[in-house]
Amino acid sequence: MEYANHLQEYAPAPTKAEVADKVAMLKAAAAANCNTEVYKLCLSAVDLTTLSCEDSAESVTAMARRAAEFYIDYPTLGNVASVCVYPPFVENVGLAIDGTPMRITSVAGGFPASQTFLEVKMLEVAMAIENGADEVDIVLNVGKMLSGNYDEAANEVEVLREESAGATLKVILETGALHSPELIYNASLLAMAAGADFVKTSTGKITEGATPEAAVVMCLAIAEYHRKTGRRIGFKAAGGVRTAADAALYYTIVKELLSEEWLTPELFRIGASSLANELLSAIEGKEIKYF
């Protein structure tokens, strides 16, 4: 399917200057959102993540079990939204969190570089879902985007959308490699048009992860896509989101550029490992290393 030709149907991408102005405004507004209620919402939006070469069935199971115990240990707080792991560990997570509302997220499709055969990506997505993944995070092919092969990049997402039918599909743009607002904006629109349920900033595997600048561009693209199609697409910040203040800033960006309707785990996520402890500590007013 042709996607690139339809980009002209949307409002143009913001300029760097426009993005900088919005980021400055939103950083100032975020100070008012550094409070317990916002931290609680952000905790409920966390995809508790482990994506290490040191992961094992034992370590992943222990993390997932600990997350499941949160319902008992903190019954008045909302738990994390999901546990995010590599595909071979999906079944381990499923066994550990069985009976809880938590979802299982699997990275797939040649994560983190998206540099393998499309058939391999398709099989990996299908196997992750077969093993119990509720959500799949794939990576938009950055090389194709940088070389201007927009239709090829979008068509890969379309194919993987078909493989992930019934699951939530999050498409990682790897914004730190795209650099310009125009490329990030176009990548967002292409991913959404090809079937993404969420657009996500980063894999966390390159130097530059999530930034407020990239988040602003992505949320403007989500708003524009919603204006044109009526379809609400979620936003996920990931890669270097470590503090409660960081989380509050991304909360503010979503609230101000999209609306409070996006501030639910169905449309707002933060991918992180240490952030859950930081948010819990901020909520409880003392240092807690729970997860």
* pLDDT (tens place) for every residue of the chain, 291 residues total: 899 999 999 999 999 999 999 999 999 999 999 999 999 999 999 999 999 999 999 999 999 999 999 999 999 999 999 999 999 999 999 999 999 999 999 999 999 999 999 999 999 999 999 999 999 999 999 999 999 999 999 999 999 999 999 999 999 999 999 989 999 999 999 999 999 999 999 999 999 999 999 999 999 999 999 999 999 999 999 999 999 999 999 999 999 999 999 999 999 999 999 999 999 999 999 999 999
How large is the angle between the packed helices 57-73 and 90-97, nearest 10 degrees? 30
- The whole-angstrom separation of Cα 38 and Cα 43 is 9
DSSP letter assigned to residue 179: -
Give catalytic residue positions.
137, 200, 236
Assess contact for 183 and 216: CB atoms under 8 A: no
Element of type H or E holding 178: helix 175-178
**Tokens, residue 11:** 């409002």
**Sign of the dihedral defined by the CA atoms of residues 129, 110, 68, 54, in that order:** positive
| Number of Cα atoms under 13 Å in the Cβ half of residue 88 | 8
- The whole-angstrom separation of Cα 282 and Cα 40 is 9
137 backbone dihedrals φ, ψ, rounded to 5°: -105, 115
Determine what percent of the chain falls in helix, strand and coil, rounding each to the nearest 5: 55, 10, 35
Count of CB atoms within 10 A of residue 288's CB?
16
Q: What is the dihedral of CA 272, 265, 65, 171, to 10 degrees?
A: -50
Count of CB atoms within 10 A of residue 75's CB?
8
Q: What is the model's pTM?
A: 0.97
**Tokens, residue 234:** 């979620």
